[in-house]
Amino acid sequence: MPNPQKEIAKLRAAIEQHDRLYYKDATPRIDDQAYDSLKTCLAELESANPEFDFDKSPTHAVGDDRLEAFQSYQHRKPMLSLDNTYNQEALIEFGRRLEKRFPDQTLNYLVEPKIDGVAVSLTYENGQFVRAVSRGNGTEGDDITHNVRHIKGVPHSLDNAPAILEVRGEIYMQHHEFERINAARELEGLQLYANPRNLAAGTIKLLNPAEARARRLDIVLYGVGACEPPRYFSHQAEIQQKLKKWGFAVLEKIWQTDGIEQVWTSIEALDTLRQTFSYPTDGAVVKLDDFRLQDEAGYTAKAPRWAIAYKFEAERAETLLKEISLQIGRTGAVTPVAILEPVQLAGTTVSRATLHNEDEIRRKDIRPGDTVRVQKAGEIIPQVLSVVESKRPDDSLPFDFGAHLKALGIEAERDPSEAVWRITRSDDPIRQQRELQHFASRACMDIENLGTAVVEQLVSRGLAQTPADLYALDAARLLELDKFAEKSATNLLAALEVSKGRELWQLIHGLGIPHVGKQSAKDLEAHFDSLDAIACASEEQLETVDGIGSIMAQSLHAWFENADNQALLDRLRTYGLNFQSARSDHSDSPLAGKIFVLTGSLPTLTRSEATALIEQVGGRTSSSVSKKTDYVVAGEASGSKYAKAVKLELTILSEDDFKALLNPIAT
Ligand code: IVH
């Protein structure tokens, strides 16, 4: 018989560790259900052994997300937790308790989605937004105003509001944003975030608001904490309407019922509908609607007696892990992926699951040939939870990441400070292949007829290493490729030609600049007139762009400073790719459409700076002097272009003349 005191101590320590990982580090090791079952186990042991003081037990406290670096604030009204259940009987029992407490009343309940986000409390004083505070330990939380102020759905002022109002809700991250950020991290070779909730939790605790803003967070508000005057609202349902009127982002749907029996039907309706919500949900919150009754029902030490959370079980399945495949990203990061015997899970067929990195594989001791339990975390991304050890084949061996890479002929190294293996050589053919595939992909230059098989051949035959090489291809070279006939060559060349006119953001995205995804590329295009203007922008200037944080600004700046990248851009420009933003309308500029040739080195301006200036006024640059050239800007050592300009009697400008032409008033 195990010693209950020891068991209790062990469980408390484990739960406290998981609380720390979840609330403070935003990197939980176990899923909600496993965590909840530890807590249930502990609560059962504690109630069977009341002699082991449990005042300080995690069963009687909410977690704590407070961090040293933040100013903490006391909530005017504590932010409590909710009692959880995964079964229908407990829900009915909750209703029975309330019916016993209020025998003469018809009890109306609200059923709301339970959002799997990060709790926040917004304070409004005299209708003005003054502060956003995290839940903290329930009594006192961290001031996260700087990271919340800009979230859409947080109004800065409210009409006809009570003098003091704490609005409660959850911050979350939409799935496409999570994917965008992970894609950028993958590019950087950084470890991927496990799920949107952890990333949202980490983001609200960033010290630099620009960085937090660059990751798009969302919010949904569902309740009220302190309120002055106190009887401003009388029902929960009324709060929802009022919050909506004030401009808060609110729950898409709530169900009003008049009895606990009906509650179940609403929960089922919610379960089918929740996939369509923009926020992740992990259950339903059932609340008594009437605030007078809520007050009378009161609270336990950590949760209201008038509400309960019914959690949906994450769908799980067992299946065979056929192999561990290694995916190479554009920066050479190697990500392990489980290739599974296809299995039905939460309405979709799952045949792959992420394994994160080498450490994760080792920690869970996952091996090819194992039967594994898979789950859709956050309802979307399949994860390998654990191995069914009883079904492991006798001859199975632990997975050796390094050896596996070697066997595949992949030269990679593991950075000792990270869990990531990465191909270090930039001329590695697999890496080049990924870069080209990305460049040609739909979300970038959308080059039809340039699929994986063609890219593979182009790289292996040395016909293309960088995106610029694609534009140097000709029919004769393409005809050397397997399965390439006249028609496919013509089609590919035509597609390449078409791609030259793609929008600027597509090119920016296609360049594969670390951290810069599709949305950031669009943000950059919306702010700058041309690629050259982006290339010349300082880190500070880049950071002023909506959606661009300091990490991205740094990454952009470093990328454009790199000589190889500059050479790549020069070549792409020569091939005639569009470097201009669609937003730059220069129809009324006198220099619109004028052709400039830059030659020799100018005293103060670099080539790209001069190009950016020309493009800002709607002009174009060309690399060769002809009768069509409008202006030749000549610096030192101009050579043959200068001579040709003289011969053609073109207008030749010094740097000063050039500046005066562009900006006649300032000079
Ligand atoms: S009402 C007194 N409603 O879930 C606490 N909470 O696990 C009343 N949550 O602390 C909370 N969706 O952070 C409420 N529709 C909803 C919710 C919700 C998510 C969070 C909240 C709460 C936690 C408990």
- The residue whose C-alpha atom lies closest to atom 16 belonging to ligand 1 is 114
Ligand 1 interacting residues, C-beta cut-off 6 A: 80-82, 112, 114-115, 119, 170, 222-223, 285, 304, 307, 309
Range 116-150 burial, b when 16+ CB lie within 10 A, else e: bbbbbbbbbeebebebbbbbbbbebbbbbbbbbbe
User: What percent of the chain is modeled with pLDDT above 70?
Assistant: 93
Say whether pTM exceeds 0.75: no
Average pLDDT of span 596-607 = 87
- The answer to whether residues 556 and 508 touch, using CB atoms and an 8 Å cutoff, is no
CA–centroid distance, residue 516 to ligand 1 (Å): 35
- 379 pLDDT exceeds 60? no
CA–centroid distance, residue 82 to ligand 1 (Å): 6
**Length of the chain counted residue by residue:** 667
Does residue 576 or residue 50 have the better pLDDT?
A: 576
Q: Which of 62, 139, 170 to mutate to test the pocket of ligand 1 (most atoms within 8 A of CB)?
A: 170
CA–centroid distance, residue 456 to ligand 1 (Å): 51
What class, spelled out in words, does domain 588-666 have in CATH? Answer: alpha beta
Q: Which residues contact 260 (CB under 8 A, 6 or more apart)?
A: 91, 92, 94, 95, 96, 98, 99, 107, 109, 286
Q: Where in the chain is the domain with CATH 3.40.50.10190?
A: 588-666
Q: Where in the chain is the domain with CATH 1.10.150.20?
A: 429-574
Strand partners, 110: 256, 287
- The answer to whether residues 4 and 48 touch, using CB atoms and an 8 Å cutoff, is yes
Does residue 319 or residue 51 have the better pLDDT?
A: 319
Ligand 1 atom closest to 112 (CA): 15
Rounded Cα distance between 231 and 209, Å, is 36
CA–centroid distance, residue 120 to ligand 1 (Å): 10
The domain 429-574 belongs to what CATH superfamily?
A: 5' to 3' exonuclease, C-terminal subdomain (1.10.150.20)
Task: Tell me, rounded to whole angstroms, the distance of Cα 376 from its chain centroid.
Answer: 18
Band of pLDDT at residue 202, cut at 50, 70 and 90? confident
What is the reported pLDDT for 667? 46
Rounded Cα distance between 148 and 134, Å, is 10
- The answer to whether residues 282 and 116 touch, using CB atoms and an 8 Å cutoff, is yes
- Which range among 39-43, 170-174, 250-254 shows the weakest confidence by mean pLDDT? 39-43
Say which of 24, 56, 114, 594 is annotated catalytic. Answer: 114
Q: Which of 85, 219, 224, 285 to mutate to test the pocket of ligand 1 (most atoms within 8 A of CB)?
A: 285
Give me the CATH topology for the region 4-60.
Helix Hairpins (1.10.287)
- 178 pLDDT exceeds 90? no
Rounded Cα distance between 478 and 500, Å, is 19
- The residue whose C-alpha atom lies closest to atom 17 belonging to ligand 1 is 114
Does residue 372 or residue 193 have the better pLDDT?
A: 372
What is the reported pLDDT for 186? 67
Q: Where in the chain is the domain with CATH 1.10.287.610?
A: 4-60
The single residue listed with the structure tokens 């798009």 is 216
Ligand 1 atom closest to 251 (CA): 15
Residue 415: CB atoms within 10 Å? 11
Note the pLDDT tens digit of each residue in 295-344.
999 998 778 999 999 998 877 899 999 999 988 876 678 889 999 999 88
When the candidates are 3.30.450.20, 3.40.250.10, 3.30.470.30, 3.40.50.2000, the CATH number that belongs to 72-311 is 3.30.470.30
- The residue whose C-alpha atom lies closest to atom 13 belonging to ligand 1 is 119
Band of pLDDT at residue 61, cut at 50, 70 and 90? low
Q: At what angle do helices 4-19 and 32-48 cross, to 10 degrees?
A: 150
Band of pLDDT at residue 468, cut at 50, 70 and 90? very high
Q: Which of 82, 263, 266, 267 to mutate to test the pocket of ligand 1 (most atoms within 8 A of CB)?
A: 82
Ligand 1 atom closest to 304 (CA): 2
- The residue whose C-alpha atom lies closest to atom 23 belonging to ligand 1 is 81
Q: Where in the chain is the domain with CATH 3.30.470.30?
A: 72-311
User: What percent of the chain is modeled with pLDDT above 90?
Assistant: 51
Q: Which residues contact 6 (CB under 8 A, 6 or more apart)?
A: none
Instruction: Determine whether 322 is an active site residue.
Output: no
- The residue whose C-alpha atom lies closest to atom 5 belonging to ligand 1 is 80
Q: Which of 79, 86, 115 to mutate to test the pocket of ligand 1 (most atoms within 8 A of CB)?
A: 115
- Which range among 366-375, 474-483, 589-598, 650-659 shows the weakest confidence by mean pLDDT? 589-598
What is the reported pLDDT for 134? 96
- Which range among 558-567, 583-592, 628-637 shows the weakest confidence by mean pLDDT? 583-592
- The answer to whether residues 37 and 13 touch, using CB atoms and an 8 Å cutoff, is no
Band of pLDDT at residue 378, cut at 50, 70 and 90? low
Ligand 1 atom closest to 114 (CA): 12
Stretch (H or E) spanning 436: helix 429-440
CATH code linked to domain 315-421: 2.40.50.140
CA–centroid distance, residue 63 to ligand 1 (Å): 13
CA–centroid distance, residue 31 to ligand 1 (Å): 18
Rounded Cα distance between 634 and 638, Å, is 6
Note the pLDDT tens digit of each residue in 282-292.
899 999 999 99
Q: Where in the chain is the domain with CATH 2.40.50.140?
A: 315-421
